[in-house]
Each structure stands twice: as structure tokens, then as C-alpha cells.
A and B are shown apart, each in its own frame.
Chain A
Amino acid sequence: MYEALTNVFTSNGLIVSFAIVGITMYIAYFLSDKLTKGRLHGSAIAIILGLVLAYMGGATTGGSQGLADISIFAGIGLMGGGMLRDFAIVATAFGASFEEIKKAGVTGVLSLFIGVSASFAVGVIIALSFGYTDAVSLTTIGAGTATYIVGPVAGTALGASSEVITISIAAGLVKSIITMIGTPFIAKYIGLNNPRSAMVYGGLIGSTSGVAGGLAATDPKLVPYGAVTATFYTGLGCLLAPSILFLTTKAIFG
């Protein structure tokens, strides 16, 4: 009986992971709604739950691939692996309109470049203060401080260790959560009350879910403006982090 069940799970790995992720998201959105009244975005809670599952996988098996180390959940590794991840990231560009991004003008584009570079630099400085000295780890953590997508994309491209990639994801996740919770409180102090500053905000912070959630809690009318620039942030980060920013980091820290 147990063996038959295990067989079904292992031979349908990817399908199992669709079901697990779906259930996780359902629980996360339920918690988001009931406990935080939607203030903390469901996707952020779901990612936290994912990290908790990964911790449990690692604690049970002692392996390095989180939940995927448990054989019946191996499909999670396929769904969350590099191939489907890159495919889905590229697909998000489908939602970005070229016309709308033109409206952001020079200010929006400028905020994107400054946003990616500033977050990257902050991440590198903090990683340095925590004792990381190699260019690959510094770049990966800096990239993760940009967003939790850019971190693993840069880390995988540069061959960073799984621990460092995980730290980079966690840094991006913390950024996303702080943005969601903090935006409505900081909005009036930074002039976040018009389309232009919302576009600059999206470009500087980048985390799409953080910006969308934070702006929705501030003023729902600002959401599309912040989201337009934020959509480009991950692409720009994926472009800059493993190239120019990595080479710069390497030149400075060896």
C-alpha cells in the first residue's frame, strides 16, 4: 500500500509539485487574508512557507536541496529548477507594455539603473561585513539584495554555492516583505503620491510583489505605475548582475 503510493508520487514528480505548490499558495493566501488583512502579500507568505518546507527537507535528510531531497517530493526540484524558472521569468515580460514604459521617460529608466546598482552595492557591503570576500559570493548576495530572482540567476551563472544562493533569495525576500509592510507608512515622507514618484519607486525597489502590495496598501491608483517599472527591474538585474556588476566586484575585491 505504502509502496504503491510512493511509486505514484515518484513517477509523477512534476504533477506532485503542482499540487503541493497549489496547496501551499492556497494556505498562504488564506493566511494573508485572515491574519494580515492582505497587508502581507500572499505570495510572500507562500515563499516563506516554501523556505520552511525546504528547511524541513534539509533537517530530515541532511541534503542540500531542501524539500527535493525527500524522494517523493523530488518533482519540486524540477518545477523550481533553472529551466522552468527562466521560462516563467521571461514570460512575465509579456505583461510589460513598451508604450507605457516610454511614458516613464528618462526618470524611470534612470531609477531602474540606480535602483539595481544601489541595492547591489548595499548587498555587497553587508556581505563583506559578514566576512564574505570572494567576488562570486559577493555578487550573488548583492544580486539577491536586488531581487530574489536576480540572486539565483546570477549565482547559478557564476557557480555560487547553494548556501550563498539561499542567502541571496532570503535577502530579496526580506526586501520584498519590508516593502509590502513599510510602503504605506513611509509614503508621505518620500512624496509617494503621484504617478511619477510611483514609477521611480517601482524602478528603485524592483520587487514586483513588494511594490504592488505596498502601493496597493498606500493608494491602489498608484499600483500600475509602480508595477510598470518594477517589471523591468528583474530583467535589468539579470542582465547587469552577472556581467558588469560582477566584473566591477571582481576588479575591486579580486
Chain B
Amino acid sequence: MVIFGVALLAICLLVGVILGELLGLAIGIDANVGGVGLAMVMLILIVDYLKKRNKLSKPSQEGLGFWSSMYIPIVIAMSANQNVYGALDGGPLAIAAGVAAVIVSWILVPIISRGGNSRFDDEDENIDVEGGETDVRSAN
């Protein structure tokens, strides 16, 4: 049933957020420490485990898939209720930070992809480039 997938997602989020709160308490900051990230790792591992044993029915996956595809729309709603009017002064800061981050990342790409571990280097030559048939622009 669809609700099983949605419930699995809800349980992962709740457990992750509870762990995040406890972690925050443990290290003495009044914040949720990576609860969302913990929930994501949990979901990846659980889905992997269930899929391998064929325990995750198609409707359950659809329940997960629906909320996964609602990610961009929710981000758009999120951007629509931000204090843009009050933050206009910060515009140049945002542009400077965004541009600088991309340039730094571009510089790092050749450095890191050359300095990788050798085992992956060996395999790399034999990897067939597959996929990319789907139109990523229309998939959300």
C-alpha cells in the first residue's frame, strides 16, 4: 500500500530528527544536529535492505517516489515564503558567494579526480558509460 512507503519515510524522518535532537543535547548546542541527514542515510540503508529481499512493494515505492518528486515544488514554495524584500541588501553577497563557490569547485575537480585511489582508477578505464537516455530536463 502507498501508505506503507509514506509511513516508512515518516518513521525515518522522526527517528532521524529525534537522534538529531539527542546529538544536539549531547554536544551541548541547542540545535538539531543533522537529523535530516541521518534520516536520509537511514532511508537509503532500509530501502536497500528491503529491495534486496523484495519486501518493498510497488505501491510502497510509489508512496516514497511521490514525496521525492514533490521536493522541487516544495523548494519553490519555500522560496516563495522567504523574506526576499528584507534581504535585498544581501543580493551582492549571495552572488559573490555563489560564483566564488562554483569557481573554487571547478578548480578542485581536476585535482581530486586525478588524485583518486588506485583501485578505482583501474576500474575506471573499464566502466561503460551507460544511462543518460532519460530527458533530465523533463524529469522534474
Contact of A21 among B23, B36, B77, B100 (CB under 8 A): B77
CA distance A16 to B10 in the complex (A): 24
Contact of A165 among B27, B82, B120 (CB under 8 A): B82
CA distance A239 to B31 in the complex (A): 12
Mark B3-24 against chain A: 1 for CB-CB distance below 8 A, else 0.
Answer: 0000001101100110000010
Q: In this complex, what residue of A is CB-closest to B137?
A: A38
CA distance A77 to B123 in the complex (A): 48
Report if A76-B77 is in contact (Cβ < 8 Å); known contacts: A86-B13, A107-B120: yes
Report if A178-B97 is in contact (Cβ < 8 Å); known contacts: A76-B77, A88-B68, A242-B34: no
Is A91's CB under 8 angstroms from B9's CB? Answer: yes
Report if A42-B137 is in contact (Cβ < 8 Å); known contacts: A80-B78, A80-B81, A87-B67: yes
- The number of residues on chain A lying at the interface, defined by a beta carbon within 8 Å of a beta carbon of chain B, is 130
Contact of A107 among B91, B94, B116 (CB under 8 A): B116
CA distance A242 to B129 in the complex (A): 37
Mark B83-122 against chain A: 1 for CB-CB distance below 8 A, else 0.
Answer: 1111111111111111111101111111011101101110
Report if A238-B37 is in contact (Cβ < 8 Å); known contacts: A47-B76, A106-B120: yes
Mark A157-178 against chain B: 1 for CB-CB distance below 8 A, else 0.
Answer: 1110011111101111111111
The minimal Cβ–Cβ distance linking A46 to chain B, given in whole angstroms, is 5
The minimal Cβ–Cβ distance linking A14 to chain B, given in whole angstroms, is 10
Mark A74-118 against chain B: 1 for CB-CB distance below 8 A, else 0.
Answer: 001101110011111111111111110001111100110011001
Is B83's CB under 8 angstroms from A209's CB? Answer: no
The minimal Cβ–Cβ distance linking B26 to chain A, given in whole angstroms, is 11
Q: In this complex, what residue of A is CB-closest to B89?
A: A163
Residues of chain A within 8 A (CB-CB) of B27 are: 243, 247
For residue A72, CB closer than 8 A to chain B, the reply is no
Residues of chain A within 8 A (CB-CB) of B88 are: 55
Residues of chain A within 8 A (CB-CB) of B31 are: 157-159, 242, 246
The minimal Cβ–Cβ distance linking B135 to chain A, given in whole angstroms, is 8
13 pairs, CB–CB < 8 Å, chain A vs chain B: A50-B76, A80-B81, A91-B68, A107-B120, A119-B101, A157-B31, A166-B90, A170-B90, A178-B98, A205-B105, A209-B72, A222-B129, A224-B132
